[in-house]
Amino acid sequence: MRLNVNKLLHTPEARQDFRFELDLSDLEFGGATPVTEPVYVEGRVQNKAGVLLCDLSAHTTLHSICDRCTEEFLEEKTVDYSCILAEERQFDEDEDIVLLENDEVDLGDLARTAFILGMDTKTLCSPDCMGLCAGCGVNLNYETCRCKKQVDPRLAALAKLLENNE
């Protein structure tokens, strides 16, 4: 989605709102493609004292796979991004500046980049996900580990004793 900002550039305090959908289903994160639903983008470009500011917010529901327990889970994701749109570099290099091409900005590209940068490097279904047991492979969020009993000989002896009393 390309936006021509020529008018905005030359009209003090002018503002243009935008809203569009983005398809990021091809994006891979850690071998998975979690962006199966459309990404809804909304924002505005405004002329603030001769400087063009662009603010956008991208939102979707991710279908993520937990790094620890490998379960799929739904995750609401919102990424906010702001930058300055300029014809050439003339500001502080610290500022996030996006250069215009023939007074145009590709908002789809901008939102896509912002969304990728906003993705978490670690994907967890919950901050205290207990993951899978390395020994028996059970999901420790739902089941108790099965391998401890076999490892501890005293417990095994006790279990045998109880069995014999039945």
Between CA 19 and CA 40 the distance in angstroms is: 8
Cβ closest to Zn ion, residue 98 vs residue 129? 129
Cβ closest to Zn ion, residue 118 vs residue 137? 137
Cβ closest to Zn ion, residue 14 vs residue 145? 145
Residues making contact with Zn ion (CB under 5 A): 66, 68-69, 125, 129, 133, 135-136, 145, 147
Provide the minimum distance between the beta carbon of 29 and Zn ion in the complex, in angstroms, as a whole number.
Answer: 16
Provide the minimum distance between the beta carbon of 161 and Zn ion in the complex, in angstroms, as a whole number.
Answer: 23
Neighbours of 53 (CB within 10 A): 15
List of long-range contacts for 22-28, beta carbons under 8 Å, 24+ apart: 22/58, 22/108, 22/111, 22/112, 22/115, 24/60, 24/112, 24/115, 27/115, 27/116
Provide the minimum distance between the beta carbon of 34 and Zn ion in the complex, in angstroms, as a whole number.
Answer: 14
Distances (CA, A) of 48 to 2, 9, 15, 81: 21, 10, 9, 17
Provide the minimum distance between the beta carbon of 121 and Zn ion in the complex, in angstroms, as a whole number.
Answer: 16
Cβ closest to Zn ion, residue 72 vs residue 109? 72
Provide the minimum distance between the beta carbon of 125 and Zn ion in the complex, in angstroms, as a whole number.
Answer: 3
Tell the residue number behind the tokens 């500046």, with chain if given.
97
Cβ closest to Zn ion, residue 48 vs residue 137? 137
